[in-house]
């Protein structure tokens, strides 16, 4: 039986999602928890919607796992949270509908990057999820620049290139909001992300927001299709995977097939 497992985690103490020998990872922690509660010799393999990098957080990560054991979702949720470390929490365990694949069936991933541009608004209790910047930022200028990047493009200029992997993505939303004095949230939604794409996109907004670059500059960088050393890839801790969106149950299998045909690389921020 395939189970969908939703979870959230503080990425500070993890070397990203993907299991790595000798390193603490979210996948490793979840798979070890499953091994413990199921009392099996080898941990089941878990597949996630977005392989977050070292230090990136998640409130809406989605995974799936295939299990032979006869359990209820409520029982599995309770047992997993009983053995997982405190920086990981399972929020839901449900029987996955036919055709569900946490990675390939996803329609879009929503990330939020949080910035503080005013020392008076800095909250040290949120230092592991908000990045401090040294100059005030103009949200209107950042939104004007972000709008120029929407649509399907080759985002090679904002990605860490992987051999044989496509860098064409559909950027569905990129917007900025000042949610409180000194605190900005940048929402980035795409069908998928290539490596470091979100942090590079946000990095291109800061020099626009503080007036060092024109609002057309990020679009010019995008058109160049090569990495620009002037674009900073921002620190991971300001980034959170907030949500993964899926189609209706009857469309899951078709979506997964389409995604497999278009790209086989990792979806990550």
Q: Which of the residues are catalytic?
A: 53
Contact 112, 202 (CB under 8 A): no
Extract the tokens encoding 263.
Answer: 């790209």
Pick the closest to residue 26 from 97, 89, 109, 92 (CA basis).
Answer: 89
Q: Percent helix, strand and coil across the chain, each rounded to 5? A: 30, 25, 45
Contact 208, 216 (CB under 8 A): no
CA distances in angstroms from 20 to 17, 23, 54, 168, listed in the order given: 9, 6, 12, 28
Residue 4 CB partners (closer than 8 Å, separation 6+):
62, 63, 64, 92, 93, 94, 95, 96, 100, 102
| Three-class secondary structure of residue 190 per DSSP | strand
Extract the tokens encoding 237.
Answer: 């801790």
Pick the closest to residue 46 from 75, 38, 112, 56 (CA basis).
Answer: 38
CA separation for the pair 86, 33 (Å, rounded): 12
Contact 259, 166 (CB under 8 A): no
Check the annotation: does 111 bind a ligand.
Answer: yes
Dihedral, CA of residue 69, residue 72, residue 73 and residue 78, to nearest 10: -90
Residues in the chain: 269
The annotated binding site for substrate is made up of 111
């Amino acid at each position: 039986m395939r189970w969908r497992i939703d979870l959230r985690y503080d990425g500070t103490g993890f070397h990203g999602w993907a299991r790595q020998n000798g390193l603490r990872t979210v996948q490793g922690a979840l798979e070890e928890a499953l091994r413990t509660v199921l009392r099996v010799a080898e941990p089941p393999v878990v597949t996630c919607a977005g392989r977050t990098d070292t230090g990136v957080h998640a409130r809406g990560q989605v995974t799936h796992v295939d299990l032979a054991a006869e359990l209820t979702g409520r029982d599995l949720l309770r047992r997993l949270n009983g053995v997982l470390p405190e920086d990981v929490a399972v929020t839901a365990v449900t029987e996955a509908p036919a055709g569900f694949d946490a990675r390939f069936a996803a329609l879009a991933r929503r990330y939020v990057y949080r910035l503080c541009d005013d020392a008076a608004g800095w909250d040290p209790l949120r230092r592991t999820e908000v990045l401090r910047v040294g100059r005030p930022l103009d949200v209107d200028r950042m939104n004007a620049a972000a709008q120029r990047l929407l649509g399907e493009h080759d985002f090679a200029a904002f990605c860490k290139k992987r051999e044989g992997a496509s860098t064409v993505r559909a950027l569905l939303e990129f917007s900025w909001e000042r949610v409180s004095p000194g605190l900005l949230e940048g929402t980035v939604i795409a069908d998928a992300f290539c490596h470091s794409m979100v942090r590079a996109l946000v990095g291109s907004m800061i020099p626009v927001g503080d007036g060092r670059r024109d609002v057309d500059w990020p679009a010019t960088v995008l058109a160049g299709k090569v990495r620009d050393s002037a674009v900073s890839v921002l620190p991971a801790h300001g980034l959170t995977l907030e949500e993964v969106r899926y189609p209706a149950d009857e469309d899951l299998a078709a979506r997964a097939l389409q995604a497999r045909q278009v790209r086989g690389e990792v979806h990550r921020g």
